[in-house]
Amino acid sequence: MPVAVSPLIRLAGTVGDHECGDGLVPLVVWRVLETVPDPRRARGRRHGLATVLAVALGAVLAGARSLSAIADWAGDLPAWSWRRWRIARCSPSLSTIRRVLMAVDADVLDAVLHAWLAAVEPAPSAPREAGGAGLRAVAVDGKTARGGLRADGTRVQLFSMVAHATGMPLGQVEIVKGDEVGAFATALDRLDLHGLVVTGDALHTQRAHAHYLHRHGGHYFFLAKANQPTLYARLEALPWSRVPQAHLEQGKGHGRRETRTLQVISALRPRLPFPHARQAVRIVRERVEVATGVYEREVVYAITDLRDDVAGPAVLARLARGHWAIENKIHYVRDVTFAEDASRIRTGNAPRVMATLRNIAIGLARAAGQPNIAAATRHCANRIDNVITILDQPARKTVTA
């Protein structure tokens, strides 16, 4: 997916084929991280910023969950690998790792690494796109790093973007003063929105978001709930009883049977008080617990500016289900595999930096063909050469401005 980046970040998409002064090619990720400004004073530096950050990313990829674990992993690096990391005499210490992660610019680091990840990511085949119709879809949502605290005692909150088709993270920004709605445009400004479908939960069903996407050539698929009472009431009042079922999905898993039916009403621009709306969607989810027989029924409404000739019922159903990629493929993995919610890293920028490193570790493992992230971390924990191979992935496509 093309990413809008500065010239500084664009370098990340083309590095990896240059030798250093000693004739040995460093890790690709080292060359990427070399573009990040070093906040430390030059006097007394023993390790370059890129070396410390690359070692921290390698440790997280190998399953490290704390700064102490990163330092332990760094201390166990074999001497034969030092020159690839640009380590001269000894591995970075715990105090060095802590100082760097606290002080480095978290926004620049996140943008640089996610731009590189977008260049490393294999392009999905057409059938894996939203409905196979050539639509690119991105899910957006906020997440609280429960263990991370700001100086004023509030929790660190991040607003993330994830590609539907591949489950690859596309970047995240910090939510300021709990304003997740305000983080929407800040995060999406990093992406080329032309032709992109952004899916969001009811919190982001905002008129300003619809106008923002329309101005930048993007599209929306938003859920609608009571936070937009007028819109929700109008959606409920549509003549759904006279609308035929357009799509049906049935499945079984996690100890329950689930049936999802979808109805669509098109040509809504004169009817609904929401900018550029073209289709309204009603999804009925019915679940039966196999063991207990307990029955649940949920009705969900959504709205989109996509035309029915571009996004038919099957595509809309995939967009609705694909939105949960951000929870299932990123947030859940960070909480379970990397224990992000239990992390006690709190000082400075370290909580945000660690969240970025976890995102990149997940994305790199998937780009390397290892969809099971827990298994990937176990393999990397036992084999330093696996870590080096993953961090040495070259860019497969251009990062465009």
pLDDT in tens, 362-378: 999 999 989 899 999 99
Mean pLDDT value across the chain: 87
| pLDDT at residue number 398 | 57
| pLDDT at residue number 315 | 95
Residues in the chain: 401
Q: In this structure, are residues 1 and 397 in contact, taking their beta carbons and an 8 Å threshold?
A: no
Q: Is the pLDDT of residue 213 over 70?
A: yes
Reading the block at residue 171, the tokens are: 């970047």
Q: What is the mean pLDDT of residues 255-276?
A: 85
Reading the block at residue 384, the tokens are: 């330093």
Q: In this structure, are residues 390 and 365 in contact, taking their beta carbons and an 8 Å threshold?
A: yes
Q: Is the pLDDT of residue 311 over 90?
A: yes
Nearest to 367 by CA among 91, 134, 163: 163
Nearest to 162 by CA among 207, 189, 122, 200: 200
Reading the block at residue 87, the tokens are: 């380590």
CB atoms within 10 A of CB 80: 9
Q: Is the pLDDT of residue 218 over 90?
A: yes
Alpha helix positions (H), 86-142: 94-103, 106-120
pLDDT tens profile 318-338:
999 999 888 989 999 999 999
| pLDDT at residue number 20 | 45
Q: In this structure, are residues 387 and 64 in contact, taking their beta carbons and an 8 Å threshold?
A: no
What's the gap between Cα 237 and its chain centre? 36
- CA–CA separation, 27 vs 51, rounded Å? 10
Burial class (CB in 10 A: 0-12, 13-18, 19+), 262: buried
Q: Is the pLDDT of residue 54 over 70?
A: yes
Strand partners, 155: 149
Q: What is the mean pLDDT of residues 198-224?
A: 96
Q: Is the pLDDT of residue 147 over 90?
A: no
| pLDDT at residue number 125 | 52
Q: Is the pLDDT of residue 190 over 50?
A: yes
Q: What is the mean pLDDT of residues 261-284?
A: 87
Q: What is the mean pLDDT of residues 72-91?
A: 93
**Contact residues for 399 (Cβ-Cβ < 8 A; gap 6+):** 2, 3, 5, 9, 10, 12, 13, 14, 115, 116, 118, 119
Q: Which residue has the tokens 């599209």?
A: 219
Q: In this structure, are residues 260 and 225 in contact, taking their beta carbons and an 8 Å threshold?
A: no
DSSP 245: P
Q: What is the mean pLDDT of residues 376-393?
A: 92
Determine phi and psi for 287, rounding to 5 degrees. Answer: -125, 140
Residue 15 vs residue 376, higher pLDDT: 376
Q: What is the mean pLDDT of residues 141-161?
A: 81
Q: Is the pLDDT of residue 5 over 60?
A: no
Q: Is the pLDDT of residue 11 over 50?
A: no
Reading the block at residue 52, the tokens are: 């410390």
Alpha helix positions (H), 35-123: 49-61, 67-75, 82-85, 94-103, 106-120
314 conformational bin, left if phi > 0, alpha if psi -120 to 50, beta if neither:
alpha
| pLDDT at residue number 397 | 64
pLDDT level of residue 130 (50, 70, 90 thresholds): very low
Q: Is the pLDDT of residue 24 over 90?
A: no
Q: Which of 168-172, 257-261, 326-330, 345-349 has the lowest mean pLDDT?
A: 345-349
pLDDT tens profile 162-182:
999 899 999 999 998 889 999
Q: Is the pLDDT of residue 258 over 60?
A: yes
- CA–CA separation, 133 vs 314, rounded Å? 10
Q: What is the mean pLDDT of residues 92-119?
A: 95
